[in-house]
């Protein structure tokens, strides 16, 4: 009959209970009693698989005090819904401890190293490098001690439960252990695999019964499915390759043109696509001018040894940043933005000035917080830190968010003038060209050498007019061209 039968195994050796794998050879003649309830068998169910009646005993992972739980990707900040997996620091089967960094991911805002919340063994990595991981979905499945789980974790620990399949149609038992969620599916009723492996098999239209498992007790691993796909397609690939050779040899000419290619939009490129698309909706005003840095060159040369004694590299950029902050104090509209329905102008109290940087990952714009209250040396120290972290790909979300005004030192790479695009929600940006030594006329009409830099300023023309931008540029220039006035203006 198909009614539920509650029967329990008696006289099961204790060593068998410690390892669910040892239950494979259980004899059907074994007596059944309630004694095994305390050892983890919680229920049995009579089902029909491949036309044969078989009894399923669910074996709780309580047999050995371990449970496999999903480690979910949480929101890493500012409503992130997905991230790109950059690098795994562990492999399947590795043991990790709480707070170990397990994976590096990249969102629209930052690159983050995610740490483990458990001590345990990684059973499965749910993504490979380059994949897009969704917030709220498992990053890994990890086996942990059951007593260390919270109630919420325990509710999620369903992947480690397995089922003993007992064939009741013969005199001898052919018992198999498999995940409970697989046991009621005829096509995969005799295989051992995890949910992620089954999902991969479904996506690739692979019958797991045809895949040779290399894991413990014949468990099918992700690598087994991938190897099966590779092996199964090798003949087709060979035929296609042969066909291509025949077709190529039969042609009287050869196509030597370079091949086109494509690449997915990922990481910082995806961020740039989004922000520049938004920027295109802003009516932008751009003004360009040049600034004489001759006196600043001398001033920096005097201050540089002192900065080096403090182990700080002093470039020209801290001067440009501080001068911008002083000019923003006088012209606060360039440190403001419109609200969502453009009915109000919202002013930022802090000057969080972003610095556009070229990094191995692409364009990044970290910002120095509260420039209005920092000295040039403090700004230089912050800039050194951001440059180091940017080169290493270790900038934090806080470093990359909250900017109110941006400077782009495009001249460090090359170029004289530019038309910089505003990065929302900011309303103004400056692009600094390459500094050049040229001949100019002084006040006595004598030809003298001078260090000149060109600069381009863009602003949101909906609420910032050209006159305001022009006055801002004039004040910014005056601080740089007359360092003595610059110094007495500092707080």
Burial 318-333 (b: 16+ CB within 10 A, else e): bbbbbbbbbbbeebeb
- Alpha carbon 203 to its chain centroid, in Å, reads 24
| Contact by Cβ (8 Å): 124, 224 | no
- Backbone phi, psi, residue 2, to 5°: -100, 5
Is 465 an active-site residue?
yes
Is 461 an active-site residue?
yes
In angstroms, rounded to a whole number, what is the distance separating the alpha carbons of residues 292 and 299?
A: 13
- Report helix, strand or coil for 447: strand
**Residue 261 region by backbone torsions, left for phi larger than 0, else alpha for psi between -120 and 50, else beta:** beta
Alpha helices in 368-407 (DSSP H): 376-392, 397-400
Distances (CA, A) of 389 to 96, 199, 291, 393: 26, 38, 30, 6
Residues 6+ apart with CB under 8 A from 28: 166, 168, 171, 172, 173
Structure tokens at 122: 């990684």
Structure tokens at 21: 């794998």
- Out of 155, 292, 465, 475, which one is annotated catalytic? 465
| Contact by Cβ (8 Å): 432, 480 | no
Starting from the edge strand earliest in sequence, which strands make up the sheet with 41-49, in order? Answer: 41-49, 52-59, 162-167, 176-179
Q: What is the DSSP string of 29-48?
A: TS-B-GGGGGGTEEEEEEEE
- Out of 113, 292, 358, 461, which one is annotated catalytic? 461
- Alpha carbon 247 to its chain centroid, in Å, reads 44
Residue 56: half-sphere exposure toward Cβ, Cα within 13 Å: 24
Structure tokens at 190: 């005799």
Structure tokens at 86: 């950059």
* Residue in 216, 268, 229, 262 with CA at minimum distance from that of residue 86: 268
In angstroms, rounded to a whole number, what is the distance separating the alpha carbons of residues 457 and 472?
A: 10
Tell me which residues are annotated as active site: 461, 465
């Amino acid at each position: 009959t198909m009614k539920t039968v509650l029967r329990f195994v008696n006289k099961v050796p204790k060593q068998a209970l410690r390892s669910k794998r040892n239950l494979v050879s259980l004899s059907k003649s074994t007596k059944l009693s309630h004694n095994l309830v305390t050892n983890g068998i919680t229920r049995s169910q009579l089902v029909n698989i491949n036309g044969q009646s078989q009894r399923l005993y669910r074996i709780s992972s309580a047999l050995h005090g371990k449970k496999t739980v999903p480690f979910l990707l949480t929101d890493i900040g500012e409503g992130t819904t997905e991230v790109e997996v950059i690098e795994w620091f562990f492999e399947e089967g590795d043991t990790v401890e709480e707070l170990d960094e397990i994976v590096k991911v990249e969102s629209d805002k930052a690159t983050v190293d995610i740490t483990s919340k458990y001590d345990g063994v990684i059973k499965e990595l749910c993504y490979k490098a380059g994949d897009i991981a969704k917030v709220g979905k498992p990053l890994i499945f990890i086996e942990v001690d059951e007593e260390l789980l919270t109630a919420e974790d325990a509710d999620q620990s369903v992947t480690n439960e397995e089922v003993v399949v007992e064939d009741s149609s013969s005199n001898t038992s052919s018992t198999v252990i498999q995940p409970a969620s697989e046991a009621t599916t005829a096509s995969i009723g005799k295989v051992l695999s995890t949910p992620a492996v089954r999902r991969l098999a479904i996506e690739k239209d692979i019958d797991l019964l045809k895949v040779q498992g290399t894991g413990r007790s014949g468990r099918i691993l992700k690598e087994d499915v991938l190897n099966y796909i590779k092996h199964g397609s090798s003949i087709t690939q060979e035929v296609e390759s042969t066909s291509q050779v025949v077709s190529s040899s039969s042609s009287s000419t050869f196509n030597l043109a370079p091949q086109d290619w494509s690449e997915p939009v990922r990481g910082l490129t995806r961020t740039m696509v989004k922000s520049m698309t938004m920027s295109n909706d802003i009516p932008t005003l751009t003004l360009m001018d040049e600034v004489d840095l001759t006196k600043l060159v001398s001033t920096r040369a005097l201050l540089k040894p002192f900065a080096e004694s403090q182990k700080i590299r002093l470039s020209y950029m801290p001067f440009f940043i501080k001068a911008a902050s002083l000019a923003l104090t006088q012209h606060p509209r360039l440190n403001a933005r419109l609200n969502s329905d453009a009915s109000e102008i919202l002013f930022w109290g802090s000057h969080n000035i972003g610095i556009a940087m070229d990094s191995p990952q692409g364009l990044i714009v970290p910002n120095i917080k509260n420039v209005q209250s920092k000295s040039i040396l403090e700004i230089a120290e912050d800039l050194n830190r951001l440059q180091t972290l940017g080169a290493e790909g270790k900038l934090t979300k806080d470093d990359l968010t909250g900017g109110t005004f941006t400077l782009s030192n495009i001249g460090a790479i090359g170029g004289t003038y530019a038309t910089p695009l505003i990065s929302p929600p900011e309303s103004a940006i400056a692009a600094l060209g390459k500094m050049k030594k040229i001949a100019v006329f002084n006040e006595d009409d004598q030809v003298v050498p001078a260090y000149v830099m060109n600069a381009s300023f863009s602003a949101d023309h909906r609420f910032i007019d050209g006159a305001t931008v022009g006055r801002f540029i004039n004040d910014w220039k005056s601080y740089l061209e007359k360092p003595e006035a610059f110094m007495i203006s500092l707080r």
